[in-house]
A and B are shown apart, each in its own frame.
Chain A
Amino acid sequence: MLEVKNLVAGYGTIPVLRDVSLTAKAGEILLIGGENGAGKSTLMRAIAGFNKPDSGEILLDGKAIGGVAPEKVAQSGLRLVLDGHRVFPELSVFDNLRMGAAARRGDRAGFNNAVEEIYSVFPILKEKQKLYARDLSGGQQQMLALGQAFIAQPKVLLCDEPSMGLAQALLPPILAFLRRWAQTGTAVVIVEQHLAVTAPYADRAMIIERGQVKFSCLASELDEKLNAPAVAAE
């Protein structure tokens, strides 16, 4: 579904990402971990079109999207949920969800079902659907951002730190929700710091270090792989 080959990207003359490759298959969750500043967010931004890659290929359904404008990338079915809860503060919660449907006009029944599903996962959003998004707490805005992405029903979903600012108890239900979502045929990529909590919900995992892929493995092997070098070093 999503394929990244030998991606090099960055902001100045020093590339942040060096030769990163990955694949995300439909129905699967790929978990990406690594230190802060390793380049995870830059990778997400490059895939979504906010950063022009210096070299390398990004393929969505076999179609090259490297260097394509973000709105075009979004129209071809890729969705990035950024960290730091980006929603439209001056719109109501419900209207924010409706914004997600901008990419799928005319599908009224599908929209209603999707909204109902969001409300069942995040009941607080239903409770506050008439309030302005700016009146939500930080964590609730994060839920709304996810909800908006779900309504859009992208083929590929990129999630940058979905746990940011959320009560810890909320992370498992959100991950379970992403899991079910993936199973409907969406390719999901999650960037996360809470690897131990997230790994059980993911299929494959990948660690990025200093702008390069350190290793990738099955999510179930992640814990073992992460601990191995530390033990060897001691």
Chain B
Amino acid sequence: MQATANVQTGPVSMAETKPKGRFNSDLTQVWIGVALIAITGFGPVIAGNSYWIHTFQLVNIYIAAAIFQNMLFVDAGQKSFGQGAILGLAAYVAAILFGLHGWSFAAAAMGGIVAAMLGGLLFALPALRVQGFHLGFVTMSAAIVFPQLLVTLDKWTNGINGISVTVPALTNPIVGSMSLLAIAVAVFPMIALFVHYGIRRSKLGRMMFVAALSPEAARSLGIKPGVMRFTAFIVASIGTGICGILYLPTVAFVSPQGFNIELSFVFFFAVVVGGRGQMLGPIIGIWIVYILPNILLAGFVEYRLLMYGCLTLVAVMAFPDGIVGSVERLRAKRKQTGGGEQAFRIDGFLADLQAGKTVREPSEEIAVEVRNGTKKFGEVVAVSAVDLKVRKGEVHGLIGANGSGKTSLLNVLSGLSRLNTGSFMINGVDATNMAADRIANMSLGRTFQAPRIFSQMSLWDNLKIGIDARVGPASADMTALAKAMEKSFGQDSATLLSHGQRRLVEVMRTVLKEATIVLFDEPAAGLSQSERTNFANLVKFLSRQMGKTVILVEHDLDLVWGIADTITVLEQGRVVSSGKPDVVAKDPAVQHMFVGSRHA
């Protein structure tokens, strides 16, 4: 016995005192990116080499467009293959207004950006209905059609001849050989980088990300995935539109050939080759995908499509995460923290929260009521004429065999699926036909059987999306809890958490959301005995000290009988027993469930 007790000391303390590496290198990458853009943007101007000035101006415009593609593609999960058309739309509309109709450049530029936004809206519409590569093909079709449209509409566009413009006010030097345009073209990609970084770090960015990865989880956090997609497309098309405006004085000429599908591919390949989602990715990507074939190998320029293909192939074979992505992966692997026992535990935080709180009993008011609710999937009746009343502040256990309709009922209550007949009320409001996000914003929170944990975000960001989803101001307790958790988990990875720990993270997410009604779907599955005890304490705390209503679907009957005020038993979608735990325990209809339980 003594020998075994000694085993547990040693390397552990070493691992714990090791300083934590950063979860990601986004900010570092932004600054490296700014430096690279500054060198390529201002370097040639200072050196006075007009060939390189022109070349890198175009490169930096494309870098900015690729940065917005990166944001749209990864952070918002929208697979658009048509961003070249958006850039072209802005450039062309501005060229028409400025070059053919004599508008001022500023007004024409505004017109171009508005056109780009409308183009973005047009892309966002199919995104409401289709996702993934379906969306990719729709947007790609638009990008293929765009140059042909320009030729066909020659009455307005000058057709194949294109439009030449000169904007001396922008291209004439103001300081030394530096023109306004040179400054704008160098600064805009930097702004794009900061916009991308800012969005990623913001509440909007996290909400976009969650909506892209798990629309279901997003809706249950009160997020409308469609709104997120629209926002992403609009932000990206404004940014890409500005690129189009900058393109106009830089190239001084627009023609349909300048905006064919190839341009869209360049942006897309740049993101993939550079590293999907990496801040620095689009810069390195454009350098490789655009500079290499078009400038360094300019003698073979007619083979450049072939070269894009070969470069992308070689790059993704050698660096499946892209070039920057592969370097970042190595760094993250070396610095990664957050796995192991106690990688996520709640008892410490709980003890602080519980101190000095009064205990109150559940009220007699009704928080959730289901009346004669039936839910069918085809011929299968998942929930059958269920009547259910849950009092405010109580812990309501929902138990039953596998497939008895427990999760189906939770899905109905959280708005993810609709009752076929019957109705249900939340805090006295009929919620039968409400969308999931509206129900979530009525202060309802839930967890899922398969925890929705996003490994691309740090452990803390995974929790923080609970705070983002909160309705109303934060309570002092939760602010303190959030601070403590940020300190502990700010740089931890969520990838290494075990299944049970992931469940606890999701549970804490709903706690941070400060939902007044929480639905837990098998929260204790995979928890160890000590974690179960902690979880039971947490539920008691939520109910008795915070006054939350808890509906608990759980197979661990010892746990349910330990904490529930009321227990409802489902069998093949029907309620077969409901009432106080000791009464339900004696019900002959539920005796068979206790096999293997200490409670029997």
Contacts and interface: CB of A to CB of B under 8 A. Distances in A.
Contacts of A18: 11
A167 interface: yes
B346 to A, nearest CB: 12
A36 B403 contact: no
B356 interface: no
Contacts of B595: 168-169, 172
Given A161-B526, A168-B597, A37 B497 contact: yes
B499 A209 contact: no
Contacts of B12: 210
B339 interface: yes
A137 B339 contact: no
Interface in A182-234: 193, 195-197, 209-215, 228-229, 232
A124 interface: yes
A12 B496 CA distance: 10
A169 B403 contact: no
Nearest to A229: B5
A140 B597 CA distance: 20
Contacts of A124: 402-403
A166 interface: yes
Contacts of A137: 402-403, 407
Contacts of A83: 499, 526
A197 B531 contact: no
Interface in B446-493: 449-450
Contacts of A232: 1
A41 interface: yes
Nearest to A197: B596
Contacts of A38: 340-341
B341 A36 contact: yes
A167 B593 CA distance: 8
A209 B593 CA distance: 32
A39 B501 CA distance: 13
B297 interface: no
Interface string A26-40: 000000001111110
A41 B450 contact: no
B530 interface: yes
Nearest to B556: A168
A39 B11 CA distance: 15
B317 interface: no
B340 A12 contact: no
A74 interface: no
A172 B340 contact: no
A79 B355 CA distance: 49
A210 B528 CA distance: 14
Contacts of A143: 402
Contact of A161 (B7, B402, B499, B598): B499
B403 A136 contact: yes
A8 to B, nearest CB: 11
B342 A37 contact: yes
Interface residues of A, number: 48
Interface string B370-402: 000000010010000000000000000000111
B402 A167 contact: yes
A101 B557 CA distance: 36
B32 interface: no
Contacts of A171: 596
B593 A13 contact: no
B500 to A, nearest CB: 4
B8 A209 contact: yes
Contacts of B343: 37
Nearest to B557: A168
A205 to B, nearest CB: 13
Contacts of B300: none
A166 B556 CA distance: 9
A139 interface: yes
Contacts of A213: 7
Given A41-B498, A139-B403, A35 B334 contact: no
Q: Most chain-B CB neighbours within 10 Å: which of A36, A139, A163, A166?
A: A36
B437 interface: no
A196 B4 CA distance: 21
A228 B1 contact: yes
A164 interface: yes
Interface string B65-109: 000000000000000000000000000000000000000000000
Given A11-B336, A16-B339, A215-B4, A165 B527 contact: no
B304 to A, nearest CB: 39
A36 B555 contact: no
B526 A166 contact: no
B334 A211 contact: no
B596 A166 contact: no
Given A12-B333, A36-B528, A214-B7, A170 B1 contact: no
A197 B568 CA distance: 25
B449 A36 contact: no
Nearest to B9: A210
B358 interface: no
B49 interface: no
Contact of B377 (A84, A135, A169, A170): A135
A138 B596 contact: no
B401 A167 contact: yes
A169 B593 CA distance: 5
Interface string A74-90: 00000000011000000
Interface in A1-26: 11-14, 16, 18
Interface in A95-112: none
B407 A138 contact: yes
A52 to B, nearest CB: 13
Given A37-B498, A212-B8, 17 more contacts: A11-B336, A35-B528, A36-B498, A36-B501, A36-B526, A37-B339, A37-B343, A39-B340, A124-B403, A137-B407, A138-B450, A161-B499, A167-B400, A169-B596, A171-B596, A193-B500, A193-B529
- By Cβ-Cβ distance, the 10 closest A-B pairs, closest first, are A139-B402, A137-B403, A36-B500, A12-B336, A215-B4, A36-B498, A169-B595, A37-B341, A35-B341, A172-B596
Interface of A: 11-14, 16, 18, 34-39, 41, 83-84, 124, 135-140, 143, 161, 163-172, 193, 195-197, 209-215, 228-229, 232
19 contacts: A11-B339, A16-B339, A18-B11, A36-B531, A37-B501, A83-B499, A84-B450, A124-B403, A138-B522, A163-B525, A164-B525, A165-B449, A167-B400, A167-B555, A168-B597, A169-B592, A193-B527, A196-B598, A197-B596
Interface of B: 1, 4-5, 7-8, 11-12, 15, 333-336, 339-343, 377, 380, 400-403, 407, 449-450, 495-501, 522, 525-531, 555-557, 592-598
